[in-house]
Amino acid sequence: MISDLLFKRIEINKRAAERNAVVDGNRSFTYGKLCKLIDSFGSVIRQQGIQKGETVAIYLPNSVEFIISFFALSRLGVISLPLNVTNRETELEYYLSTTGSRYVITEGEYLSEIEGLKSSCDLKLILVKGESNCWSVEKMDEISTSGTAIDEDDKVLYLFSTGSTGKPKCISRTHANLRALAENHTSTAGWNEDDGILMAVPMSHTYGFGNFVSAIQAGATIYTIADFNRKEVTDILSSGRITTFPAVPFMLDMLSRSRNLSGKDFSSLKLVFSAGAPLATRIFQDFKKNYGIYPRQLYGSSETGVISINMSRDIEKKNRSVGRPVKNVEVKIVDNDGKELTFGEEGEIIVKSPSMTSCYENSDQESEKSFRNGFYYTGDTGFIDDKGYIFITGRKKLFINISGYKLDPVELEQLLLENKNIREVAVKGELNASGQEIIKAFIVPEKTMKYSEIVDFCRSRISEYKIPRIVEFRESLPKSPTGKILKAKL
């Protein structure tokens, strides 16, 4: 099972128990201590009467509590549903009801976001921080719980994937999937127990989650950051302890354009990953100029986990590539008929991986479209060069990419139409001055509306990154003879 990455490690190698596993602000936890905390929290979960095969949501930021929660649940055969702390009521309700989650692990700071759902979703909360009488890492009981019998094919994780269907699609991963992901990622990246991984990207998403599990596989030290803050990130990056920094292009751009970097030493950095959105050459060059290291693109998806990492020795020339497939992962390019294409020919990228799911949990129709003959059809288009490097050139799936976060425009359109003052709406992506994709909504109101009314309506219901940055109020929207809104004409 996935927790063997921790427990077997310290069983086989006693010295490993003394090494730092997690540094969360000014709190440090060795691998030995982390295992004790996981067992202690596991007993709390068990006392709640939560059974093997149930789903429990983790609504926590990057933190040692997130890591403890995931592994404690996994040892009891319980499926984790990590939720981003930016998620709001409408999203939370959907994720919790789709997976049948009755329990949420959270902390005092996020209570107000979730308390409103307690009665409508019949939820029970398990607090791990911020309340005087809750279990916490500072006052845990030293209880050793024996693990539940786990099959490697048991589900251990639910994630959601965005694109084309209006509603996010639920994906499960098994213990075997996650073990394969960690093994493939770690051996391709060459991590070991001397590495320090800075987790600033959310561990509740596939990219952050994959890096966190792989860091544990390597026996490395994870440094967690709850919110992206340039000063905090540059202070840790220059502490001499960080060797790998998984990021998204937006973070790299903001860090590159920051001014007060003089006197800081980033020479401990060996790898900087960029994923979630294409890495512009400008950001690639600027980051190197300021931090002395080129970022490398990593490609993955919620459905598959990590697909490829660009570990090229000639990164200056290959910077636009997302690299070659990681260990044990097969990638092909196919045409519209599913026929495999050769080097340099452009088509859809399809992936076969031991870390991938085989279907969507809540949609047979979408599963049939996306999972065929053992391959996942990513919806991304691209080509592979004669050295095996993958280049992404476009996407077939419909979504807007906001600094690595994906939004299906239909999801926002459906939400906005729930506002009785909105008659028609169309949402599309637009590039801003720094080349980042932003959300623009075209709205036909029933009566005069202000932009702030749209923001207020969205803010309590969806993550802030999904709020349209620009709203254009119109008297009508262009339509086809059949009444379909013609977004291309907007």
Partner 1 sequence: MSEEIKHRIIKVLSNQLNEKTESFSLSDNEPLFEYGLGVDSVSTLEMIVALENEFNIDIDESDINADVLYSISTLEDYIKNHL
Binding site for partner 1 (CB under 8 A): 227-231, 250, 254, 257-260, 402-403, 430, 432-434, 436, 438, 450-452, 455, 464-465, 467-471
Residue 72: phi and psi, rounded to 5, are -65, -45
Please choose, from the candidates 222, 220, 223, 248, the residue with its C-alpha nearest in 3D space to the C-alpha of residue 233.
223
Q: How far apart are CA 83 and CA 70, in angstroms?
A: 12
Of 185, 156, 161, 181, the C-alpha closest to 171 is 161
Nearer to partner 1, 324 or 406 (CB): 406
Q: Which is nearer to partner 1, 104 or 402 (CB)?
A: 402
**Exposure of 100 by Cβ count < 10 A (0-12 exposed, 13-18 middle, 19+ buried)?**
exposed
Closest distance between partner 1 and the C-beta of residue 404, in Å?
Answer: 10
Helix (H) or strand (E) holding 393: strand 390-395
- Residue closer to partner 1, measured from CB, 62 or 214: 62
The minimum distance between CB 290 and partner 1, in angstroms, equals 13
What's the Cα-to-Cα distance from 158 to each of 45, 113, 301, rounded to whole Å? 18, 21, 13
Q: Please state, in angstroms and as integers, the Cα–Cα distance from residue 222 to each residue in 7, 18, 132, 213, 244, following that order.
A: 17, 15, 27, 10, 10
Kindly state the smallest distance separating residue 106's Cβ from partner 1, in Å: 20
- Closest separation between CB of residue 220 and partner 1, Å? 28
CB of 433 to partner 1, least distance (A): 4
Q: CB of residue 402 vs partner 1: minimum separation in angstroms?
A: 7
Contact yes or no for 158/96 (Cβ under 8 A): no
Q: Decide if 89 contacts 460 (C-beta within 8 A).
A: yes
Q: Which is nearer to partner 1, 144 or 229 (CB)?
A: 229
Q: Pick between residue 171 and residue 407 the one whose CB is nearest to partner 1.
A: 407
State the Cα–Cα distance between residues 453 and 167, nearest whole angstrom.
24
Of 353, 303, 314, nearest to 332 by C-alpha is 353
Q: Which is nearer to partner 1, 147 or 429 (CB)?
A: 429
Residue 474: burial class (beta carbons within 10 Å; 0-12, 13-18, 19+): middle
Q: Which is nearer to partner 1, 66 or 228 (CB)?
A: 228
Cα–Cα dist 223/241, whole Å = 9
Give yes or no for a contact between 338 and 372, defined as CB atoms under 8 angstroms apart: yes
Residues paired with 159 in a beta bridge: 171
Residue 260 CB, nearest distance to partner 1 (Å)? Answer: 5
Of 11 and 464, CB closest to partner 1: 464
Amino acid, single-letter form, for residue 449: M
Q: Of 231 and 420, which has the nearer Cβ to partner 1?
A: 231
What's the min distance (Å) between Cβ of 152 and partner 1? 39
Please state the closest distance from residue 232 (CB atom) to partner 1, in A.
9
We find the least distance from the C-beta atom of residue 217 to partner 1, in angstroms, to be 31
Q: For residue 459, give Cα distances in angstroms to 111, 246, 394, 397, 402.
A: 16, 28, 31, 26, 16
Region for 25 from its dihedrals, namely left if φ exceeds 0, alpha if ψ lies in -120 to 50, beta otherwise: left
CB-wise, 260 or 336, nearer to partner 1? 260
Task: Using the minimum distance from each CB to partner 1, give the nearer residue, 310 or 463.
Answer: 463
In the complex, the smallest distance separating the C-beta of residue 230 from partner 1, rounded to whole angstroms, is 7
Angle between helices 4-12 and 206-218 (to 10 degrees): 10
* Ranges of H-type helices in 258-396: 281-291, 315-318, 364-370
